[in-house]
Amino acid sequence: MRPKCGSYWTVATMLPAQSNPMSELRTNPVTLSMYILQQQHIKAPHARGNLSILLNAICVACKFVESAVRKAGLAGILGMAGSANVQGEDQKKLDVLANEVFVNLLTKCGQCAVLVSEEDDEPTVIDAARRGDYCVVFDPLDGSSNIDCGVSIGTIYGIYKRAQGCDATVDCVLRPGREMVAAGYCLYGSSCSMVLSVGGPPAHFTLDPSLGEFVLTSPQLSVPPAGAIYSVNEGNASLWDAATARYVTECKHPPGGGKPKSARYVGSMVADVHRTILYGGVFLYPADSKSKKGKLRLLYECFPMAYLVEHGGGRAIAASGKLVLDLQPQAIHERSPIFLGSKADVDRVEALLRDAA
């Protein structure tokens, strides 16, 4: 009997290094840690394993946050912490907790030089004694407005390698997203998913709560070339520019009289992008007349998601029609409009943006 497609027992056979007889599959899952080591072996057999150590620290931090998210209501830790972050937004207690876990684990793993978190106004520069070669930009708990109602939230991260001889300063991370060496997200949803790219097609892992391990459920995600879903906060429609408004109108009333796209919008970027990667379609957070640069942060929200989508065969552009990954950040908390998803859908957005320019 064929095991169900998508279960991690079957996926183990899809990896080049595996050739398991069917009877062995149940007892031979591929965990995230094993995958990271495999990737190191394939891509950099002589590497010292420092990136692997760093990725494992991120994996542990995500498991910690997942556990806190699942217990949040029970533990009575929902609600405001009474502090505000650099964007002037209220922080939830879980945001603070997630940030502390990430900063602590990334500091202790000994592989980082500079950390940039959405929750911290300034970058964290790691002490020389514990400093490593990597810089991590992250949003420890994105979609925080969804915490109190139990809707999906997530963690987003991107990793740069420090240029040799480069001081540990903010310049280490003020670089185009294309220079990242890895990026990923963890979705705390109806199941807990980790999607990671270390420069190749994104791999998808699902947390097996009984094992406490992320297990490979799809070794190569690829964004469908076109999709039937559009995802945008339409409450802002009256503030949009003409090109964005026209694109969304086309989604609802296709010019040739085709089938309209369905609207889906969670309001958590990780959930909306995860669905877009799996099902196809387009996710938009455009600029508008109130938020001239959009809402989402370039460094730790747009770059990692654009990196994953591009490595999965999709596209991610900014308002200028420029590829998001080619943008040069000027400040760590800078924002950018973003349009990402299936190639055909983003191509259409791009054509409308160009016509309007």
Using CB under 6 A, list all residues that contact ligand AHM: 89, 118, 139, 142-144, 233, 267-269, 272, 285, 295
Cα torsion through 202, 97, 268, 78, rounded to 10: 150
User: Closest distance between ligand AHM and the C-beta of residue 118, in Å?
Assistant: 6
Residue 82 CB neighbour total at 10 angstroms: 9
Q: Report whether 114 contacts 124 (CB < 8 A).
A: yes
**Binding footprint of Mg ion on the chain (CB under 5 A):** 139, 142
User: Closest distance between ligand AHM and the C-beta of residue 284, in Å?
Assistant: 10
Specify the residue, 132 or 177, whose C-beta has the smaller distance to ligand AHM: 177
User: Which partner from the list ligand AHM, Mg ion, none does 144 bind, CB cut-off 5 to 8 Å by kind?
Assistant: ligand AHM
Specify the residue, 173 or 353, whose C-beta has the smaller distance to Mg ion: 173
Specify the residue, 110 or 267, whose C-beta has the smaller distance to ligand AHM: 267
User: Closest distance between ligand AHM and the C-beta of residue 269, in Å?
Assistant: 3
Sheet holding 213-218, edge to edge: 124-125, 112-117, 134-142, 153-161, 182-188, 192-197, 203-208, 213-218
Spatial separation of the C-alpha atoms in residues 40 and 177, rounded to whole Å = 21
Specify the residue, 133 or 142, whose C-beta has the smaller distance to Mg ion: 142
Residue 162 CB neighbour total at 10 angstroms: 20
Nearest to 155 by CA among 173, 181, 137: 137
User: Which partner from the list ligand AHM, Mg ion, none does 39 bind, CB cut-off 5 to 8 Å by kind?
Assistant: none
Q: Report whether 135 contacts 146 (CB < 8 A).
A: no
Which residue has its beta carbon closest to Mg ion?
A: 142
User: Closest distance between ligand AHM and the C-beta of residue 272, in Å?
Assistant: 6
Specify the residue, 39 or 146, whose C-beta has the smaller distance to Mg ion: 146
Specify the residue, 142 or 213, whose C-beta has the smaller distance to Mg ion: 142
Nearest to 241 by CA among 72, 354, 136, 82: 354
| Joined tokens for residue 168 | 């540990």
User: Which partner from the list ligand AHM, Mg ion, none does 268 bind, CB cut-off 5 to 8 Å by kind?
Assistant: ligand AHM
User: Closest distance between ligand AHM and the C-beta of residue 41, in Å?
Assistant: 35
